[in-house]
Amino acid sequence: MNLAAHLVMLPVLLPLVAAALMLPLGERRRPLKVMLNLASTLALVAVAVALAMRAGTGAVDVYRLGDWPAPFAIVLVADRLAALMLLATSVLAFCSLLFSLARWHRVGVHFHPLFQFLLMGLNGAFLTGDLFNLFVFFEVLLVASYGLALHGSGSRRVQAGMHYIAVNLAASLLFLLGVSLIYGVAGTLNMADLALRIPAIAPADRPLLEAGAALLGTAFLTKAAAWPLGFWLEDTYAAASAPVAALFAIMSKLGVYAIARVWLLLFGVAAGPSAGLGADWLLAAGIATLVFGMLGVLAAQEMARLAANSVLVSSGLLIAMIAVGNAEVIGAAFYYLVVSTFALGAFFLLVELADRGRSAAADILAVTREAFGEDEDEADDGEVGVAIPATMALLGLAFLACALLLAGLPPLAGFIGKFMLLDALFAALTPAAGLAPAVAWLLLALLLLSSFATLIAMSRAGLNRFWAPLEPRVPRVRIIEMVPVALLLAACAVLTVAAGPALDYAGAAARALIAPQDYVEGVLPPPATPEVAP
């Protein structure tokens, strides 16, 4: 058996097996679960690195489940973009898992299995090659995320979680409607097959297909928290426990990924009369989200809400950039996506550490301790790691790095991402690129404005918390809680130093999305294509 050929399956299989093994273990066997979870997550990082290195050469790895030929079988596809997202997910997951080991994994039941199920859903959604399995993996990750959002319980989490679940259930129904409409018209759900069939759809059926695509897009935009579909995000993310919120930072990016993948593949330049369907709507949704997130960042009183609104800003920015449809812009956007995911993850973790000494967060922790027994915490204090000296200085430094990354100031990767976006937008201003100058200027202005708004909000929060705090209490922080923040920031630093190769990779991923011949031929080898066109 050739193990390398089965590598594509591992990101789905590994968390599934790990979670299934963990489920029957009771809460008393937690150390065993921790070992399993750590092993599985570390292995996922390794697998993602291997997949990214294979995909980096331009290979499109296609895994046919059951080895049936492609339009009939379910396929998993690992191309550059999928491998990039897998890598970002696994690194973020490893860091938030490390963070949770200090205390958060103890405040509720089934943290570890849910964590692995969430990873399985995310990885599956990034890899899947057909629309219905995209739905199934979305549901897997959503169900796990419902559990994790409520992790630690408390009335604030349950309240926010209920809204989150209701909105996402409704969005899932829209997803199903869209998928079934597309199937009813095109007769296939395989994305590569759809890309081949959509140009040949009869004009009479086209409105139905476009309605289906619009419903699907609405569902994706809800997951990406685009305005006005994203009001659930702020409360949910701000209320969720820190490691969960950090992991959720990649979930809104999944919505962005799904839009990029499905929209560019099915309604790209090759889609005949439907090419570029809904581009204006995407652009408008992205800009509205960006503006809303920007105002939210400025208005945020708590740091957790500031972080949640920063998710909206980066989501809106990415949606708008994808809607531009220019390969250079999208390539820079993918680079920015990874940087902002890591920065947001680090920021969510940091917020909890910085807020820990304060009464508001202490209230939440107290509630969760009440609900799940307070015996463990005192007993375990200092067992996982020692409290570190100069805590405030380290936290302040990490906060500064997060602020620089999110606001896009030099010298870190956030600056490079935003600078490349600006550069690509300027390059797209030429008439040949087909981008309306007004739109490009608007995006340029918003990009700079949103950076400025983030900078103001972050400076204000930093001054209040680290420089001149109202209640100067130093939070007790353990090394194991500082390490994941440092790891995420180090990942951003690596992306800064290795910006050249990373941008090349992201650019190649974007070009492969805009001109998806490799993807389509990888899934449907050429001998199969003649029978596709009726």
* Residues in touch with another protein (CB under 8 A): 132, 136, 139, 142-143, 146-147, 150, 153-155, 158-159, 161-163, 165-166, 169-170, 172-173, 176-177, 179-181, 183-184, 189
Sole residue written with tokens 């390490």: 483
Nearer of residues 139 and 504 to another protein, judged by Cβ: 139
Give the nearer residue to another protein in terms of CB position, either 150 or 499.
150
What's the rounded Cα separation, in Å, for the pair 200 and 272? 8
Q: Which of 352, 344, 308, 303 is nearest to 100 (CA)?
A: 352
Q: How far is CA 380 from CA 101, 360, 366, 384, in A?
A: 11, 23, 16, 7
Nearer to another protein, 150 or 425 (CB): 150
Give the end-to-end CA distance of the chain in Å, rounded to a whole number.
38
Q: Which is nearer to another protein, 217 or 414 (CB)?
A: 217
Nearer to another protein, 181 or 344 (CB): 181
Angle at 265 between CA 259 and CA 270, to 5 degrees: 135
CA-CA distance, 340 to 141, in Å (whole number)? 21
Nearer to another protein, 64 or 476 (CB): 64
Q: Which residues make beta-bridge pairs with 75? A: 64
Contact 225, 252 (CB under 8 A): yes
User: Cβ 212 to another protein, closest distance in Å?
Assistant: 9
Closest CB 184 distance from another protein, rounded Å: 3
Structural contact between residues 93 and 40, judged by C-beta atoms closer than 8 angstroms: no
d(CA 437, CA 435): 6
Q: Please, how many CA atoms are within 13 Å of residue 353, restricted to the half-sphere of its CB? A: 34
CB of 19 to another protein, least distance (A): 15
Work out how close the CB of 356 gets to another protein at its nearest, in angstroms, rounded to a whole number. Answer: 23
Contact 407, 455 (CB under 8 A): yes
Cβ distance to another protein smaller for residue 79 or 130: 130
Buried-exposed string 70-98: b where 16+ CB fall within 10 A, e elsewhere: bbeebbbbbbbbbbbbbbbbbbbbbbbbb
CB of 266 to another protein, least distance (A): 17
For strands 75-78 and 61-64, give the pairing.
antiparallel
Of the pair 172, 274, the CB lying nearest another protein is at: 172
3-state secondary structure of 278: coil
